[in-house]
Amino acid sequence: MPRKGENIYKRKDGRWEGRYICSYDAQNKAKYAYVYGKTYSEVKQKLTDDRSSPKKERTTPKSSLTYNELLDSWLHSSQLNTKESTYARYAHLINTHIKPQLGKYQLSMLSTDIIESFVEFQLTEGRLDNTGGLAPKTVTDILTIVKSTMEYARYKGLPVICNLGKLTIKKKEKEMRVLTQAEQDALIGVLIDDMDLYKFGVFLSLYTGIRVGELCALQWEDFNLAQTTLKIRKTMQRIQDTGNGAFSKTKIVITEPKSQCSVREIPLPTFVVDIAQKFIANPKAYILTGNDRYIEPRTMQNRFKSYVKDSGISDANFHALRHTFATRCVEVGFEIKSLSEVLGHANVNITLNRYVHSSFELKCSNMNKLNFSV
């Protein structure tokens, strides 16, 4: 059976065969080149090498190139310059949303109106379970891919008739969940009651603002308890497994954080260090398990939900700890530049606009600082 979308087959003689379009004849009929090997992986590598070889570059007539073909070419070219998680995200959006709607069009016929209609469809009916539209953030990611492929096509000298410069997605402002001081106190009560490694992980996140993926990737070698610091240099996430052309399975990856600014060293409060001393283990052990086995972010999210329920507070997800940490820091007069670096942001505006939320109590306190005399 062929691997979906790859034109790779296992022959009756046991060998593997792959083919790709190498040129077109005068009647615009595709001509194929073939490669052979003993294994699927060998043939896949030969296809990759032949497609990227200048002497075998496709000579598809510009007017007959489909958007499917352009997407495949762009995705292949981006693979070398993007993180595995980013590539998996691209591949997922292309295969589940973009190709089914736009792939059949010839590039030279893909107009601005067609793409605008496609975007509107994704916003209103794009969910695969037929329950409505995709989130604006997801559609923005899809549109970013479409725009990038069009820039790629122009760079290659291909005919592009659409103009997407003014096409944008209006984002909905999401209300950030921040624990009140009373809710925070209730949660801490649950965490310090018979504290284990999972509870310590939540406690650590509440007082450092680290993300759940960063927490799950932490090992004891990342702590310097003598210097009372914590180094963030890895993150964990579950992504789609794009190996062998399969997109239905997922896998856990541990990589560097999403930006260089997210690689950081965080000073730890002394009370956090005191608690950490009770759990410290082998340097290579993950802090949430105490051994060489990790737990993934989804599992940690579920653990946190149980602590929230036990606390008797309103529903909150793990990221609320990050918002809460930033808010408490501002309330006690934390210098914003320092806070931005602790959170791993590129600039202070991100910290102020996205993660710092002034409480009503703080607003009242500031208003009462005003003086009026008759």
Tens digits of pLDDT across the chain (374 residues)? 455 456 788 887 788 888 877 665 444 556 677 888 888 888 888 877 776 664 444 444 556 799 999 999 999 998 878 888 888 999 999 999 999 999 999 999 999 999 999 999 999 999 999 899 999 999 999 999 999 999 999 998 898 999 998 898 887 777 789 999 999 999 999 999 999 999 999 999 999 999 999 999 999 999 999 999 999 999 999 988 876 555 568 889 999 887 888 999 999 999 999 999 999 999 999 999 999 999 999 999 999 999 999 999 999 999 999 999 999 998 888 888 999 999 998 888 888 887 665 667 777 877 888 876 55
Question: d(Cα 139, Cα 346) in Å, to the nearest integer?
Answer: 24
Q: Is residue 79 part of a domain?
A: yes
Question: d(Cα 299, Cα 304) in Å, to the nearest integer?
Answer: 9
pLDDT score recorded for residue 203: 98
Q: Are residues 9 and 150 in the same domain?
A: no
Q: Is residue 374 part of a domain?
A: no
Q: What is the 3-state secondary structure (H, E, C) of the chain?
A: CCCCCCCEEECCCCCEEEEEEEEECCCCCEEEEEEEECCHHHHHHHHHHHHHCHHHCCCCCCCCCEHHHHHHHHHHHHHHHCCHHHHHHHHHHHHHHHHHHHCCCEHHHCCHHHHHHHHHHHHHHCCCCCCCCCCHHHHHHHHHHHHHHHHHHHHCCCCCCCCCCCCCCCCCCCCCCCCCHHHHHHHHHHHHCCCCHHHHHHHHHHCCCCCHHHHHHCEHHHEECCCCEEEECCEEEEEECCHHHCCCCEEEEEECCCCHHHCEEEECCHHHHHHHCCCCCCCCCECCCCCCCCCCHHHHHHHHHHHHHHHCCCCCCCHHHHHHHHHHHHHCCCCHHHHHHHHCCCCHHHHHHHHCCCCHHHHHHHHCCCCCCC
pLDDT score recorded for residue 30: 61
Q: Is residue 371 part of a domain?
A: no
pLDDT score recorded for residue 55: 45
Cβ-based neighbours of 196, under 8 Å, separated by 6 or more = none
Q: Is residue 223 part of a domain?
A: yes
Q: Are residues 220 and 271 in the same domain?
A: yes
pLDDT score recorded for residue 285: 97
Question: d(Cα 263, Cα 251) in Å, to the nearest integer?
Answer: 23
Q: Is residue 249 part of a domain?
A: yes
Q: Are residues 201 and 327 in the same domain?
A: yes
Residue 229: which CATH number? 1.10.443.10
Q: Where does a domain end: 137, 155, 174?
A: 174
Q: Exposed, middle or buried, 369 (CB in 10 Å: 0-12/13-18/19+)?
A: exposed
Are 359 and 331 contacting, i.e. CB atoms less than 8 angstroms apart? yes
Q: Is residue 111 part of a domain?
A: yes
pLDDT score recorded for residue 355: 65
Which residue range(s) make up the domain with 211? 181-366
Q: Are residues 81 and 133 in the same domain?
A: yes
Q: With the CA atoms of 37, 39, 44 and 49 taken in that order, what torsion angle do they form, in degrees rounded to the nearest 10?
A: -40
Q: Are residues 115 and 193 in the same domain?
A: no
pLDDT score recorded for residue 63: 60
Q: Are residues 21 and 71 in the same domain?
A: no
pLDDT score recorded for residue 14: 81
Q: Where does a domain end: 60, 82, 98?
A: 60
Residue 82: which CATH number? 1.10.150.130
Question: d(Cα 137, Cα 308) in Å, to the nearest integer?
Answer: 27
pTM for the predicted model, two decimal places: 0.70
Q: Are residues 162 and 214 in the same domain?
A: no
Q: Are residues 242 and 356 in the same domain?
A: yes
Q: Are residues 345 and 246 in the same domain?
A: yes
Q: Is residue 372 part of a domain?
A: no
Q: Are residues 246 and 353 in the same domain?
A: yes
Q: Are residues 138 and 286 in the same domain?
A: no
CA 195 vs. chain centroid, Å, equals 31
The total of structural domains in the chain comes to 3
Q: Is residue 303 part of a domain?
A: yes
Q: Are residues 169 and 256 in the same domain?
A: no
